[in-house]
Amino acid sequence: MSFSWARAATALRRLVTEDAAKSREEQHLDDGQRASLTWMAERLPQSGVVLADEVGTGKTRIACAVVHAVLEACGRAAVVVPHGLMHQWIAESRKLRASSPAPKDLTTFTEFLREVSPNEASWKDFSPRPDESEWWLISHGFRAPLVRSNSNWWRAALPAFVELYLASRAEREDARTRIGKLHRMIENARASWWGWNGMARIASEVAPRVRGRRDLRKRIEALPPLSIASQNNDALLAQFGNSGDGRPLTEELLGLWLGEFDLLVIDEAHKSRGEVDVEDTALGAASGTVLARLVDAVLKQPENGRRLCLTATPMELELSQWLDLLGRARSGLDHERGRQVVKRLHDAASRAAVAPDEGSRLDELCAAARDFTKTLAPHVTRRRRDEDPLVTSFRTGAALPEGLPHPHRRLQRVQIGWTETVGQSSPWLDVLFAAECMSQSARGLTLKDTADWPRAVRDAYTKLSAGHVSIDLSETSEPLRVPEPGVVDDHTRGKIARATYWYRRLRDGRKRVLEGLPPVNGAELDPDAEHPRILAAVKEIEGWTLKREKVLVFGVFLRPLRLLRDVLNVRHALRAADAGRPIAHAVHTDASLLGIALRQLERLRAEGALSGRLSTGNGAEMRRALADSHKAYERLRDKVRRRAKKPVVAWRIDPSLLGGAPVDRELEGALEDHLVSFVLDDFLATTSESDEVTDERFDVLTAEFVEERLRPLLGELGDEDANEEQAVLRQEALRALLEDDDGRQSFHARLLQGATRWETRRYLQAAFNRPGASPWVLIAQSQVGREGLNLHESCRVVVQFHAEWNPAVLEQQIGRVDRKGSLWEQRAQKWLAEGAQGEPPFVEVRQLIFEGTYDAFQWDRVMRRQHVFDASLFGSLLPADAWDRVPEGRLEELLAAAPSFRPPRLK
């Protein structure tokens, strides 16, 4: 039976009806999700659409429902997602319909070939079947293999292999010809030549689909031949550069291999704004070019194919970005008409924000907003958090005003003062003052102007002028040199001279900071650990963790984030040692951590936070206390470790876990470490005693460890028996995690950065979502943790450590904890059920702002951009500080006119 969108729409409506008929406990969709799916059943047969529901409202499950409907109608679907979110899509699909077929997946091209091509059975299981109904999960980073001048030739071999399989049998068997030599090479290829073998397998499947395509055959023949005999393929490799046809042709052939997809779902679709004709260097890849090439050049769709674009932020910095996304979705919106309504709303919102008491400006704003909504509504569906019944009830119960886009959030700025933070006598004041003056002096200089500066100084200037008055200052003994008169214009020379002066002052101040550190045997003192931004963040974070609240922190630069992690962990260890509690962290054996501990001991005493063993005494006593607490932890660990051996051996036999793989004692030992840490996390979080973990509690926690940590990391292969090859792959996936994560350390604060492996990110995600267990603070580098990851089950507090330019980034960060099924939702429901008495619970957001610096200017700029962002996405046509100036009687009209793309409610 061939696919049709009419049948898919029928299947989608049936899915909605069946779910609505179930009891509330058995339903997998809420009313809003069912309304969205009903709207899509009407729209998708006509055009592609944008699903722009706000962060945390369940877009993934909606998209999974559409995929299931396409499969039920005998269609094919591809879902393009960030690599780190592929496991969440699988989980959401299974929650929605456990019996639905599992997706095939592609992360990177080389990884697929390495794992699948050596084995005939694996190739049949995991390669595409264009004539069958199936769905694929494809990573945003998937692309044709990169080819450079020194690349292995197999990367450029796909067109040549297709030509080989198009040749006659006689041509292939003639060993004197180029085709014949290529055929003999691949026939005799070793199993370890996974690149060559994989390309040959793909070519054998693609060749029949190319046979009738004269255009493709001409392009293949036009490429320089792949020569095995001459060992010189420079001309062929050169065709994979910017102007050659090698790469576009390979992408075309890969598209034929994957087959056409009736539905293409693009998750985090705002990342696909790059253009396919841009060379995707590392910088281009970061800007979305790789994703754009994937969805426009590699993945193919039939004429009636549809696209579903998912994003919570269809616009980020400019309203015109709505049009980019609607174009990517192939929605059919007239671009010129769209441009007109976007410009009208932007201009009207900007004018009304200046004078919200002028009736004519409000009239134009309301008209522009209604026009914007009418034009985009046929192509966009968006559910907002402020329309959620729980948020609405919370706003009423807390007596909050109308017009706020997120009434359940409490955003407060944490002002970092100069003198009150570092003290007038502190050498840090000179460093910060000189850094700010250097930043201001250098504003307006171009990269050409600073090309002769030492690399370390350019790095410092770049970070400072970007608004991050932080501790990311590179050290250098090289001075800045002012150009001779006449080399540059006087204005530029003056700027460089001023920047040079203040850089000297910066270095001098930094030197005084270092000279002010007292010598300590066996410890390394780092003054940056007491930078005002670090100290302010620690104070704010501990204000929550001491009340047993988990905290999610976002920042940009790694060095201050690492120091923030270390300071938090050391202070946590000092408090535990003061009370005589066991601590997992061996602070006393690490010179840099010990240096932090010596300085923080003084601060904790000044704060009155220590009342036990460390309330008095010198540095030696502090080391003994830290060592004793760690030894107590090790003794407790040894007791639990003896019990951990038995379940790990059982996992080795279990076919749904590690069964079938060879015995690996080192891996089993590491698993025992992780299980023990998991058990002790729970034990130490719920008791102050360190005597005993009961057998009953140990068994319960072991079962939880398998379900929450182990099974997801092994691929969630269900109840199917694992053959030996699958078991080995499971072991390899687990080993990747264990190499990256020290299972013996249950850290209070953990860091999630770009170098963190995907497996470890999932592990940290599960740990952070577990109530009462470490880590209590998860510090995430902005680009890593801000999108997609669910970190909401045990956390409602977000601290934004560094400034950002983009309001969409801030929104994505907060959206990690403000989601369906979040801790905040649990607290809000309880508060409302108890009669809305006492302090209402909020999603708490704190922004660290260094007053009087470029940092404050950056925060002010992003808040101004927030206005247009809120106007089109959150139904708030005016800035928060403008609503008080709106004339009486106009409020309801403004609220009613605000852009809304909520799907019609179901009757």
Q: Are residues 535 and 504 in the same domain?
A: no
Could you tell me if residue 165 is inside a domain? yes
The torsion angles phi and psi of 241, rounded to 5 degrees, stand at -80, -165
Tokens coding 175: 């060993």
Q: Are residues 97 and 182 in the same domain?
A: no
Average pLDDT of the residues of the chain:
83
What pLDDT score was predicted for residue 479?
64
Q: Are residues 476 and 541 in the same domain?
A: no
Give per-residue pLDDT as tens, 536-595: 999 999 999 999 999 999 988 888 899 999 999 999 999 999 999 888 888 999 999 999
What pLDDT score was predicted for residue 360?
92
Could you tell me if residue 163 is inside a domain? yes
Give the integer Cα–Cα distance in Å for 464 and 802: 12
Tokens coding 95: 């929650």
284 pLDDT more than 50 = no
Which of 37-46, 359-368, 397-406, 772-781 has the lowest average pLDDT? 397-406
Q: Which of 483, 515, 547 is the last residue of a domain?
A: 515
What pLDDT score was predicted for residue 463?
52
For residue 622, name the pLDDT band (cuts at 50, 70, 90). Answer: very high
- Average the pLDDT over 162-190 and give the result: 85
Q: Are residues 486 and 549 in the same domain?
A: no
Helix (H) or strand (E) holding 80: strand 77-81
Q: Quick one: 797 exposed, middle or buried, by C-beta within 10 A (0-12, 13-18, 19+)?
A: buried
Q: Are residues 485 and 622 in the same domain?
A: no
What pLDDT score was predicted for residue 660?
60
Q: Are residues 502 and 573 in the same domain?
A: no
- Average the pLDDT over 760-767 and give the result: 79
613 pLDDT more than 60 = yes
Q: Which of 209, 239, 269 is the last residue of a domain?
A: 239
Could you write out the DSSP letters of every residue in 796-818?
EEEEE-S--S-HHHHHHHHTTTS
What pLDDT score was predicted for residue 135?
95
Question: To 5 degrees, how large is the angle CA 509–CA 513–CA 519?
Answer: 150
Q: Are residues 444 and 485 in the same domain?
A: yes
615 or 148, greater pLDDT: 615
Could you tell me if residue 824 is inside a domain? no
What pLDDT score was predicted for residue 715?
53
Give the total number of structural domains in the chain.
4
- Other CB atoms within a 10 A radius of the CB of residue 2 amount to 7
Which of 2-16, 234-248, 700-714, 845-859 has the lowest average pLDDT? 700-714
Could you write out the DSSP letters of every residue in 501-561?
HHHHHHHHHHHHHHHTSPP-TT----GGGG-HHHHHHHHHHHHHHTTT-EEEEEES-HHHH
**Are the beta carbons of 668 and 735 closer than 8 angstroms?**
no
Q: Are residues 477 and 568 in the same domain?
A: no
Q: Are residues 492 and 572 in the same domain?
A: no
Could you tell me if residue 833 is inside a domain? no
Map residue 875 onto helix, strand or coil: coil
Could you tell me if residue 548 is inside a domain? yes
Q: Are residues 117 and 34 in the same domain?
A: yes
Could you tell me if residue 561 is inside a domain? yes
Give the integer Cα–Cα distance in Å for 576 and 271: 44
What pLDDT score was predicted for residue 280?
36
Could you tell me if residue 616 is inside a domain? yes
Q: Are residues 108 and 227 in the same domain?
A: no
Q: Which of 305, 332, 359 is the last residue of a domain?
A: 332
895 pLDDT more than 60 = yes
20 pLDDT more than 60 = yes
Tokens coding 227: 């020569």
Could you tell me if residue 140 is inside a domain? yes
Q: Are residues 116 and 223 in the same domain?
A: no
Give the integer Cα–Cα distance in Å for 114 and 187: 18
For residue 467, name the pLDDT band (cuts at 50, 70, 90). Answer: very low
- Average the pLDDT over 639-668 and give the result: 77
Question: To 5 degrees, how large is the angle CA 283–CA 287–CA 290?
Answer: 85
57 pLDDT more than 50 = yes
Domain that holds residue 212: 153-239
| Stated pTM of the model | 0.76
71 pLDDT more than 50 = yes
